[in-house]
Structure 1
């Protein structure tokens, strides 16, 4: 489709405006993390790295970061196992209710986080509390896994739908049993999609705050909860900027790797 010069200019301006709306606030956070002043005043009165040093010395911040890492890794591990198994079941087998199962697997990602959080809170109080299992890291991991499964499921299912079953059938014809076929034929074909799904699931879990609010116990604080609790404290403002800047930089890595891995499939 050929576009006029005016239409091309308008599209470029719209794209530039959209990118500016997304990334200018992020750039302001990055610059403010080096602001020598304690306030959020703009422009910065000077540049300094003292807030980065102060952030590293925050014991509560390090504990919150460690909790977020444990929750993200736990939720990702559950999501990889269950999401992959569900993807194989839906794409490789025909059974009654297959479309309904696929819909139910995707639904948690579409539901508002507060609805998921309230539902999980009620379920944990009803099922786990009578068993003596209180709110804590375990409930956070389970809560995050409910929506992380969707990411892994979508990535693996999309790859399996593009993967012809002829290679697996040829492996079986040559005498390989089910596990050998999976290990030497199927897994290498879906490995990059699986890895991309795991990276996105971890990133999704790491910055989740709404579901975490309803599933974390009194002594469990993830990094997003720490940021939320300290944002209103005037003396913690610069440190919150440092943490936000660090999260922006760290978030680029899994998203970039997942995008590269997904792009390999399309070439």
Structure 2
């Protein structure tokens, strides 16, 4: 009989892979509490919360956080609406061109971000729209829709259509069927898709660079900080914040969908 326990070599390889992936993240978390003002001294000289106070006292940091949260929230709401409607239209009906439409919906997440950014900037310039808050939101919504669509259509495919037919046969109208049958079945997939979309929007930088104009989201603020070595401790604190804001929704989405066939964010 084969043992169900993994060999020591396999365990070592697995732990080595985890350390390789997460060591840089752990270092950023460590540096955020470092007393040394240079920010990159190892081992850390001591433990302090000073840099958190310095960070949240800066108006430019707070403005960047506010803008990123605003963009992510609005882009996520747009994505949840459009992604759900697209999934509802495509999950069961068969018609000419359905596969092409499905491919076009998924395409934005497959394209390199720089291509998407150039395409969006060209489209905005052609339409005479100046880069700003609106263009950032539109740019983020293009790939956030895909995340929500993937989650919702996977759940639609596992929802028995007989439940919907039974609801209609028992006298429920379309709204009642949606409210009491469809929405409860979609709720966890929709929430997971929204959480993933929010996380991806919050830390997106490539598309944002082409569509932001003079606006500065938090990732763009971080990029600009690379040329300011005196602000390294503040940069470390902001980097840790970005990682937390993006990591927690992704973990939440994973736990919401881990027992389902459709893995949250599988399109990414």
Fold similarity call, TM over 0.5: yes
Looking at structure 2, the residues matched to 177 and 264 of structure 1 have their Cα atoms a distance apart, in angstroms, of 31
Does the CA-based 8 Å contact 2:200-2:246 persist in structure 1? Answer: no
Equivalent positions of 1:166-245 (< 5 A) are 166-218=162-214, 220-245=215-240
- Richer in helix (by share): 1
Residues 165-204 of structure 1: per-residue CA shift (max 9 Å, x gap): 0000000111111121111101100111001000000000
Looking at structure 2, the residues matched to 153 and 11 of structure 1 have their Cα atoms a distance apart, in angstroms, of 36
SS of residue paired to 2:95:
coil
Range with greater deviation from structure 2 (14-23 or 204-213): 14-23
Q: Which residue of 2 aligns with 1:81?
A: 81
Q: Which residue of 1 aligns with 2:31?
A: 32
Equivalent positions of 1:5-24 (< 5 A) are 8-24=7-23
Does the CA-based 8 Å contact 2:199-2:247 persist in structure 1? Answer: no
Runs of at least 5 residues in structure 1 that lack an aligned partner in the other structure: none
Residues 211-239 of structure 1: per-residue CA shift (max 9 Å, x gap): 00000011x11000001101221111110
How many residue pairs were aligned? 260
Q: TM-score, normalised by structure 1?
A: 0.93
Looking at structure 2, the residues matched to 228 and 53 of structure 1 have their Cα atoms a distance apart, in angstroms, of 21
1:261 to 256, 259, 263: 256
Looking at structure 2, the residues matched to 43 and 223 of structure 1 have their Cα atoms a distance apart, in angstroms, of 28
Looking at structure 2, the residues matched to 21 and 105 of structure 1 have their Cα atoms a distance apart, in angstroms, of 34
SS of residue paired to 1:41:
coil
SS of residue paired to 1:92:
coil
Residues 24-61 of structure 1: per-residue CA shift (max 9 Å, x gap): 11110001011111221211122221111110111000
Looking at structure 2, the residues matched to 201 and 80 of structure 1 have their Cα atoms a distance apart, in angstroms, of 9
Does the CA-based 8 Å contact 2:131-2:213 persist in structure 1? Answer: yes
Does the CA-based 8 Å contact 2:225-2:231 persist in structure 1? Answer: yes
Task: Give how far 1:247 is off.
Answer: 2.0
Residues 60-118 of structure 1: per-residue CA shift (max 9 Å, x gap): 00000000001001110110010001111110222111111111111111111001000
Q: TM-score, normalised by structure 2?
A: 0.93
**Cα RMSD (Å) of the superposition?**
1.6
Looking at structure 2, the residues matched to 14 and 108 of structure 1 have their Cα atoms a distance apart, in angstroms, of 35
Does the CA-based 8 Å contact 2:199-2:245 persist in structure 1? Answer: no
Task: Give how far 1:248 is off.
Answer: 2.2
Range with greater deviation from structure 2 (136-145 or 239-248): 239-248
Q: Which residue of 1 aligns with 2:265?
A: none
Looking at structure 1, the residues matched to 230 and 29 of structure 2 have their Cα atoms a distance apart, in angstroms, of 18
SS of residue paired to 1:70:
helix
Q: Which residue of 1 aligns with 2:107?
A: 107
Residues 103-159 of structure 1: per-residue CA shift (max 9 Å, x gap): 1111111111001000000001001x1xxx321010000000000000000000000
